[in-house]
Chains A and B, each alone.
Chain A
Amino acid sequence: KAGVTQTPRYLIKTRGQQVTLSCSPISGHRSVSWYQQTPGQGLQFLFEYFSETQRNKGNFPGRFSGRQFSNSRSEMNVSTLELGDSALYLCASSSQGDTEAFFGQGTRLTVV
């Protein structure tokens, strides 16, 4: 059984650019949630999608957005990148959102 796949693993972007990160969940899982980990900070909840609908959203500015496709793959987008957006972005997939879940390895974004 393939694990949760996040692409790319590493990314360097310039301030003001936008970026799109991808998360492919475990086959059959319909819930994908996203988290941000900045240096020295814990993992903060961004949003959660279930069957293409955003069910829950954390306290982040509107520059952070996401979507989920019919095959459950999810993308998150950050527009007008700021230096403070440099972080590890982690996704998790589960069948219902609070049951058995699996984590990706994360995408490390550096904004210069």
Chain B
Amino acid sequence: KNEVEQSPQNLTAQEGEFITINCSYSVGISALHWLQQHPGGGIVSLFMLSSGKKKHGRLIATINIQEKHSSLHITASHPRDSAVYICAVPGGNQFYFGTGTSLTVIP
């Protein structure tokens, strides 16, 4: 049983398209994290959110605590957005991670 499920696993988009990545979780949480990882690179924290919506530039993250679901949206996608996006939820003194969504944005 996976505590965190992400979809889709892979996503290819044309530059400028609107992207949505979904994350569902089964544990009760205080906050959910969205992380970004470029190929061969380290981890970058994008958002930490416990309710509602947060926006940073072209990135928007939303969470519905009752439905245990979060989405990461990218507006006007750009090739530099190509990366793996991972959601992470805390539980029992550790984090549980989704398997990641590999996004490729084609010029």
From A50, A94, A97, A106, B43 is in contact (CB under 8 Å) with A106
Contact assessment for B93 and A105 in the assembled complex, using a CB-CB cutoff below 8 Å:
no
* Chain A interface mostly: strand
Contact assessment for A33 and B93 in the assembled complex, using a CB-CB cutoff below 8 Å:
yes
Instruction: Determine the chain B residues whose CB is within 8 A of the CB of A33 once the complex forms.
Output: 93-95
Contact assessment for A42 and B99 in the assembled complex, using a CB-CB cutoff below 8 Å:
yes
Interface size on B, as a range, is: 20 to 34
Contact assessment for B94 and A45 in the assembled complex, using a CB-CB cutoff below 8 Å:
yes
Contact assessment for B43 and A90 in the assembled complex, using a CB-CB cutoff below 8 Å:
yes
Instruction: Determine the chain A residues whose CB is within 8 A of the CB of B97 once the complex forms.
Output: 35, 42-43
| Chain A residues numbered 25-79 whose CB sits less than 8 Å from any CB in chain B | 31, 33, 35, 42-43, 45, 48, 50, 55-56, 58
From B31, B43, B94, A99 is in contact (CB under 8 Å) with B31
From B35, B94, B96, A103 is in contact (CB under 8 Å) with B35
Give the shortest distance, in Å, between A65 (CB) and chain B (any CB): 17
| Chain B residues numbered 82-98 whose CB sits less than 8 Å from any CB in chain A | 86, 88, 90-98
A residues within 8 Å of B by Cβ?
9, 31, 33, 35, 42-43, 45, 48, 50, 55-56, 58, 88, 90, 92, 94, 97-106, 108
